[in-house]
Amino acid sequence: MPYRFTFDLSKVPRFFFTEIATVSYQKGMHKSLLDRLQSLIIKFRIEEATGLNINDAIVLLQDFIDVQAVNMIERSKFLQTKKRALFLPHCSRKYLDSRCRASFNADIPSYTCAHCSEECLVNQSSQLAATKGYDVYIVPGGSCIPKILKNTKYEGVVGVACGEEIKMFGPFLNSIGLAGQAIPLIKNGCANTVFNMETLVNAL
């Protein structure tokens, strides 16, 4: 399920995400997380940069922090896993029309990238993950994931999606004992979405 608002943090300085990571480490130690979030929003001019109002910006940042905090908790368990899968969202393909040469297999269900564009984030990340031994799935929605995980047994999973989707599927992964790492989109909108490659590389 997408957010009820759109956002684009792809032009926000990288330092912003370092600050978010710092807040995640310190979560629970602060009397007022809300105050900290508000000051980050002001410091990085998030309202001006994204057009988000303060309430939506807080929802978004809170999700980033929650995802980061769960990643940190799960990290050591994830590092012990051997058989892993990477789930990429179809919305991050460079093209969503017929210019995307990926084939879709409804039986899996997943796209298979045909590597038609070197700039395509899905292409770059699927090639990188494959060299690291990951099975890669490019899914049209989170609802495909349970079927894939039922058909093939994995120990660890890395997933890229908007925060709302991550929040929905995190408890599911936990319930079946999988160690997960999640990378939230920094630009949503269900088309031409963006995630940070460096964050993905670190997670893999």
Residues at the contact surface with ligand SF4, assessed by CB under 6 A: 2, 89, 91, 93-95, 100-102, 113-117, 120, 122-123, 141, 161-162, 165, 185, 188, 190, 193
Other beta carbons within 10 angstroms of residue 45's beta carbon come to: 11
> Smallest distance from the beta carbon of 162 to ligand SF4, in angstroms?
3
Nearer of residues 36 and 68 to ligand SF4, judged by Cβ? 68
Tell me the residue length of the chain.
Answer: 204
Tell me the H-state helices in 54-179: 54-79, 121-131, 145-151, 163-175
> Smallest distance from the beta carbon of 175 to ligand SF4, in angstroms?
21
Tell me the H-state helices in the chain: 14-26, 33-43, 46-50, 54-79, 121-131, 145-151, 163-175, 197-203
> Smallest distance from the beta carbon of 23 to ligand SF4, in angstroms?
23
Give the integer Cα–Cα distance in Å for 133 and 120. 20
> Smallest distance from the beta carbon of 12 to ligand SF4, in angstroms?
18
Nearer of residues 27 and 167 to ligand SF4, judged by Cβ? 167
- Write out the two tokens for 160: 């890229």
Nearer of residues 33 and 201 to ligand SF4, judged by Cβ? 201
> Smallest distance from the beta carbon of 20 to ligand SF4, in angstroms?
19
Nearer of residues 46 and 113 to ligand SF4, judged by Cβ? 113
Q: Which residues touch 186 (CB under 8 Å, ≥6 apart)?
A: 8, 9, 10, 12, 194, 195, 196
Nearer of residues 72 and 168 to ligand SF4, judged by Cβ? 168
